[in-house]
Structure 1
Amino acid sequence: MSVADARPAAPAAMPKLAPGKLLWPLVALVTVALVMAPAGALPAWAVKLPAAWQLGLAPQISAFMKWLMESATFGLFSVREFTRAIAWTLDLPLSAAKAVLSTGLVIGQGSDAVKLAPPIPWFAMVALGIAAGYAVSGVRLAVLMGLGLLYLAVFGQWAGAMVTLASVLVSSLLGAFGGLLLGLACVRWRAVERAVGPLLDLAQTMPVFAYLLPMLILFGFGPVSAMVATIIYAMPPMVRVTILAIRAVPEDVRSLAVMTGCTRRQTTWKMLVPTALPALMVGVNQVIMLSLNVVIIASMIGAGGLGFDVLTALRRNDIGAGLEAGLAITVLAILLDRFAQGLAHGAERGAAGRSGRRLALWAALAGVAALWLAAALWPSLATYPEAWRLSTAPWWNELVRWINLTFYSQLEAVKVFFLLNILVPVKRFMLALPWPWVAAVVTLAGFRLGGLRLAAVTGLMTLFIALSGLWPAAMVTVYLCGVGVALAMLIGVPIGLLAAANPTARKITDVAVDTLQTLPSFVYLIPFVMLFKVGDFTALIAIVLYAVAPAIRYTAHGVSQIHPALIEAGVMNGCTRLQSLLRIRLPLATPEILLGLNQTLMLALSMLVITALVGTRDLGQEVYSALAQANVGKGLVAGLCVAFIGIIADRLLSAASGRLRQRLGLG
């Protein structure tokens, strides 16, 4: 044996850890150390922002709004006169829709009012709904429209439903058309898209409560202010869908327009928009659903309808009446959603085979006109008979009373468990975080995921939240939203995996998700307020139920889109079902799941503002109290803070999803 062979073997080299892998564990350790630091160890300004450092924007915004409405002028007319003229113009289509559907044609006011014609009678509206559903999508939709409208009449929700329907129809038409025009402008001029993009982000993430007070000041108390707030909230999806749909039009269509000598206007309205119509109808559907989602909030400034009924019931703690009105909104949402989907599918199929259906619709319109004339001659025909009405309100009230009496101890135990073991510790942890450290971590995350630009955006937004003076409320918002999103993902991801693997489970979850997405947000609060009273736990349940739908849907979609060849390759290499799930399906579906997490977070933030009505002490409460105090500056600053939290999360999660897609080679 040689000397070389006799030498002891050299020790194996220690594996080197990449600095990036140590960064976030180190950040986590420092964060815990800062939270656990004894009192006085950190500078006082890092724990609580000094009042002298705060921006003080709220009084300045309020003063500006006061000057705008009392002193600002365009020369020939004042700003107040201008906004009131806009309100008068917008009130014309709204009043016309309400006259047709709800109030009838009335001339004069008060004791001098004279009714010239009644609204469309309930049975005529049911017939029209059946005919329209048949014309758009066949027998199935016709039956659904008939049953849904009959439900509204039988359970005494017809009057409120027609007021809501009038508001939603006008808001949706104006929002869809305005969004289409703005989207076309963004396609034509990139500068418009760059300018509009941040405004769309704000409109989608700022709570509707924050819109209400400025609209109230600009346009006065009443349904027009509510309609403007609804349009602002519902328009962004239409703008984004329009941009994507027009840019997705095949180049052959554009070339054909050039070859046939079309002008730019003809190309847009006769070639591009008709070709993109199926995709544009998806945007219209989103506008309708978002409009319905805010009808209760809009009722706070005079919108009326079913939203006002739900709000009144919530204030009276009348669960039965609130659920009946809330279910009526849900029924209306389902009918409008299915009708819009039918229009979209019809646009895809073209006009072939629909001539007979259209003939049936025209015949139904003639019948409705005859019934309307009969109701004008005999007004009693227009009203649904009181003796035929049903109500489930007493049953719901009795059910809640029985649950409270029978299961009070168990319900209280669940509530106390979550409060003591999850909510209170997380809340204390978030409130103990020094604001400079949070701003630094958010900026670092932006830099690691998206470079200097994303770091600057996320860092400046975090700094704005801190300097606004609302840091404690913002941390409560982050805590409630974070816990709610975590629970929603823990529930939604396994259900999504089951739905992707089992067709029967997929059908069941699709129905459940559709129901969760059409229920108005206020409806989630009513039963849980009855069971658990007001507080963070009630808010948490409402947030989880409202936000879980995207987690389920995106997980199921992501897993089902994985190429079967990849799964087969894993099986051939001996992967068990569990290994295939953990090592192939979940990693490849992670980018989609991150997008679902993003949407879950957006819905949680939206719901969190609503939960201010059940006693949470977060930014939503700041916005709600500002509305009650008519403090427009405070409401807008708090709303901006909510919007910035949403934008920060959206940008970081989108960047993380993009990087992960590149790493996995998914484009």
Structure 2
Amino acid sequence: MLALSRHITRGRLFWLGLFALTWALSTYSFQLYKLLDARWVIRFPSALQLNLDTEISNFLDWLVNEAHFGLFSFRDLTRAIAWMIELPYQFLRNLLIEGFQTGIGDGAVQIAPSLSWIAVIAIAVAIGHYARDWALALLVGVCFLYLAVFGQWDSAMITLASVLVAVPIGAVGGLALGILAYRMPWVETLLRPILDLMQTVPVFAYLVPILILFGFGPVAALVATVIYAMPPMIRVTIVALKTVPEELLEAGRMMGATPRQMTWKVLVPAATPTLMVGVNQVIMLTLNMVIIASMIGAGGLGFDVLASLRRLDIGAGIEAGLAIVVMAIALDRASQAFSERRMSHPRTGSVVQRHPWTTTVLAIVVVTYLLGQIIPAIQNYPDALKISTGAFWSDAMAWINVNFFDTLETIKTVLLTTLLLPVKKFFAGIPWFWGILAMGLIVGRVAGWKLGLAAALMMLFIAASGLWGEAMVTLYLCGVSVFIAILIGTPLGIWAAQKPGAGRVILGLMDTLQTLPSFVYLIPVVMLFRVGDFSAMIAVVLYALAPAVRYAAHGIREVPPQLLEAGRMAGCTPSQLLWRVKLPLATPQLLLGLNQTIMLALSMLVITALVGTRDLGQEVYIALTKANAGQGIVAGLSVAVIAIIADRIVHALADKQKRRLGL
């Protein structure tokens, strides 16, 4: 007991000493620079800086303009990939919205119209009923009807075409790589750091090289979307295949199944419910990407939101954002239903009896096609019946600004002066050499000296790239945003877990926040608080709040009932039960929520560069506007470094807590 007390005391002394020394160096770094007459105290020596951005840009330029592989060049390869992606994409655009044409330009003649809005809704209803029941069919149908009624149909169909191309490529590609990683452990070892980078490097960072390789347009946007959405499918596939019961595998071997038969007749069918969770993630990430991809020519609802943000049209932006949310709800619920669906016995009888929904949908398509030639309202939803809520949202925002301006300004001023600016001053003053050493000590103390050394080297990479100041601003904004998100989210999660009625409302609100596109948060925030760090912080908190709430609720619910009963028998009050039993046992889940909150905060910080932050996200965004691939990739890798270090620290803390609790 005495040894444990000494260990705790030494631990506290270590953290207090480290913080005190960091604070002192941060506060007096400028005086230290003056005393030593050494500029290197403030800025990494320019003679030792890496020119990695220039090397990357030169390499990409060589790759696009000079690289040859025997019979074809690299440009030929990218054009072939673009052609293969563009064929199904253009077909779906023609089918859903543009119709089929022959000829070019003014001489083009339409040979067949697109599917009518009634036919598309009928297909959506049929899919919902096939996946589960009439309740889901009604929900999906109402979601698609919403798109027509509120005037978002054309843009929504362009977005749907992108989703219908990107999701199969991402899902099939992720499945194939996941199976390969399961079969060959060295592939999994190789993929793990690549997946870490793909999930932590900001999307803007690889938009630039994709723009250079594939040009401006929807194909480049689809390539970026697939890269963004594929990693979860790979990870889910590996986990799903590893959790297939050994008895099934043994039964397959005893029946003489070949490796191919084992994969497609045993492993994949047994893992299908979990694999569908991966497909669901691909769908949601694809929809989250549509706005960002619109910056390089994706079009659709994403372009509408981005255009509204640029002209600060709050009504149009929220309308388009809500359309993405509605589409996300429909696709999310349908994919979840498919993951839970059980195989049914084939029906007997005629074709109509065996496939009632298929024949019904085909009949609706044919009838609406024929009637649409006579009655335009059947082919296209009538403009006279469309409803717009844009004026309502704009007026609501104006009313808030007029009536609560002083209150909002007071809140903003208080938080800026008491929290944001002091924390920013602290991080901005940390000398690069001490920041590297301190990060190594922190990670070494928590996760071991090997990871500590790796963390120090990664921070050295940021300093040597000339991005130390921007990285410290990123740490400050991320740290403050995550702190506030956890401060709000954890109590909400606990409340949701302990009060089922409140839980349904809170978790429903979190569902909405998670499906709202990231850009949508910026529009009302900028309208209320204008540009700057405070607006960025509010947007990040809103975007990153959901995992803090969800993991807190999940952790409290998962506490074993027998331990709660033991606490009650020991005479614990509800408050003591929460603080002494539930929260300690839920700590691993709370830490996982913290980890996800940090990841979402870092991804959102890159997007908040649009509202005037001066961090790594701004560097990535500037690189995108200048098509400077090297600058974008180096700044993106610096964000990934921060994300990876945070991930390792939080995972190490969670593992320690699990061992302490004997879990």
Band the TM-score falls in, shorter-chain normalisation: over 0.9
Cα-to-partner distance string for 1:3-49 (whole Å, 9 max, x where unaligned): xxxxxxxxx99974553342112111111121222633255313211
Q: 1:597 aligns with which of 594, 619, 634?
A: 594
Determine if contact 1:56/1:468 at 8 Å carries over to the other structure: yes
1:29 is matched with 20
1:505 is matched with 502
Is 2:550 the counterpart of 1:553? yes
C-alpha separation between the residues in 2 aligned to 1:478 and 1:13? Answer: 36
Name the SS for the 1:41 alignment partner.
Answer: helix
1:9 is matched with none
What letter is aligned with 1:350?
M
Is 2:114 the counterpart of 1:148? no
Deviation at 1:582, TM superposition (A): 1.1
> Cα distance 1:14–1:481, how it changes in 2: closer, same or farther (>3 A)?
closer
Is 2:325 the counterpart of 1:334? no
Is 2:253 the counterpart of 1:240? no
What is the TM-score with the length of structure 1 in the denominator? 0.95
1:380-419 to 2 correspondences below 5 Å: 380=376, 381-419=378-416
2:343 is matched with 350
C-alpha separation between the residues in 2 aligned to 1:327 and 1:353? Answer: 39
Determine if contact 1:135/1:357 at 8 Å carries over to the other structure: no
Q: 1:204 aligns with which of 199, 202, 226?
A: 199
Determine if contact 1:298/1:307 at 8 Å carries over to the other structure: yes
2:95 is matched with 100
1:4 is matched with none
Determine if contact 1:440/1:459 at 8 Å carries over to the other structure: yes
C-alpha separation between the residues in 2 aligned to 1:111 and 1:240? Answer: 48
2:609 is matched with 612
Gaps of 5+ in 2: none
1:367 is matched with 363
1:3 is matched with none
Determine if contact 1:122/1:153 at 8 Å carries over to the other structure: yes
Determine if contact 1:175/1:234 at 8 Å carries over to the other structure: yes
Deviation at 1:586, TM superposition (A): 0.8
C-alpha separation between the residues in 2 aligned to 1:585 and 1:403? Answer: 40
- CA root-mean-square deviation: 1.9
Q: Which moved more, 1:640-649 or 1:360-369?
A: 360-369
Name the SS for the 1:350 alignment partner.
Answer: coil
Determine if contact 2:301/2:324 at 8 Å carries over to the other structure: yes
C-alpha separation between the residues in 2 aligned to 1:576 and 1:369? Answer: 64
Name the SS for the 1:583 alignment partner.
Answer: helix
Q: 2:154 aligns with which of 154, 159, 168?
A: 159
Gaps of 5+ in 1: 1-11
Cα-to-partner distance string for 1:469-518 (whole Å, 9 max, x where unaligned): 11111111111111110000000100111111111122112211111111
Q: 1:302 aligns with which of 272, 297, 314?
A: 297
C-alpha separation between the residues in 1 aligned to 2:407 and 2:379? Answer: 49
Number of corresponding residues = 653
* Percent of aligned pairs sharing the same letter: 54
Cα-to-partner distance string for 1:194-245 (whole Å, 9 max, x where unaligned): 1111110111111111111111111111111100101011000000000000
C-alpha separation between the residues in 2 aligned to 1:201 and 1:195? Answer: 11
> Cα distance 1:364–1:461, how it changes in 2: closer, same or farther (>3 A)?
farther
1:8 is matched with none
What letter is aligned with 1:280?
L
1:224 is matched with 219
Is 2:484 the counterpart of 1:484? no
Determine if contact 1:164/1:306 at 8 Å carries over to the other structure: yes
C-alpha separation between the residues in 1 aligned to 2:368 and 2:199? Answer: 41
Cα-to-partner distance string for 1:564-598 (whole Å, 9 max, x where unaligned): 12122222222222111111111111111000000
Cα-to-partner distance string for 1:277-334 (whole Å, 9 max, x where unaligned): 0000000000000000010010111110000001111111110011100100010011
Determine if contact 1:554/1:595 at 8 Å carries over to the other structure: yes
Q: 1:49 aligns with which of 44, 51, 61?
A: 44
Q: Which moved more, 1:593-602 or 1:88-97?
A: 88-97
Determine if contact 1:591/1:661 at 8 Å carries over to the other structure: yes
C-alpha separation between the residues in 2 aligned to 1:48 and 1:13? Answer: 43
Deviation at 1:627, TM superposition (A): 0.7
Determine if contact 1:125/1:368 at 8 Å carries over to the other structure: no
2:262 is matched with 267
Q: 2:283 aligns with which of 280, 285, 288?
A: 288
Deviation at 1:134, TM superposition (A): 1.1
Q: 1:493 aligns with which of 490, 494, 519?
A: 490
Q: Which moved more, 1:268-277 or 1:371-380?
A: 371-380
C-alpha separation between the residues in 2 aligned to 1:154 and 1:404? Answer: 29
C-alpha separation between the residues in 1 aligned to 2:278 and 2:436? Answer: 36
Determine if contact 2:555/2:589 at 8 Å carries over to the other structure: yes
2:61 is matched with 66
Determine if contact 2:486/2:545 at 8 Å carries over to the other structure: yes
Is 2:204 the counterpart of 1:213? no
Q: 1:78 aligns with which of 57, 64, 73?
A: 73
Q: 1:647 aligns with which of 638, 644, 647?
A: 644
Deviation at 1:158, TM superposition (A): 0.1
Cα-to-partner distance string for 1:423-442 (whole Å, 9 max, x where unaligned): 11111111001122221122
C-alpha separation between the residues in 1 aligned to 2:367 and 2:155? Answer: 21
C-alpha separation between the residues in 2 aligned to 1:611 and 1:374? Answer: 49
C-alpha separation between the residues in 2 aligned to 1:376 and 1:501? Answer: 54
> Cα distance 1:379–1:626, how it changes in 2: closer, same or farther (>3 A)?
farther
> Cα distance 1:237–1:634, how it changes in 2: closer, same or farther (>3 A)?
same
Cα-to-partner distance string for 1:220-272 (whole Å, 9 max, x where unaligned): 11111100101011000000000000010001111111111111011101111
What letter is aligned with 1:53?
L
C-alpha separation between the residues in 2 aligned to 1:388 and 1:323? Answer: 20
What letter is aligned with 1:272?
L
Is 2:507 the counterpart of 1:516? no
C-alpha separation between the residues in 1 aligned to 2:540 and 2:262? Answer: 45
> Cα distance 1:84–1:401, how it changes in 2: closer, same or farther (>3 A)?
same
C-alpha separation between the residues in 1 aligned to 2:291 and 2:640? Answer: 21
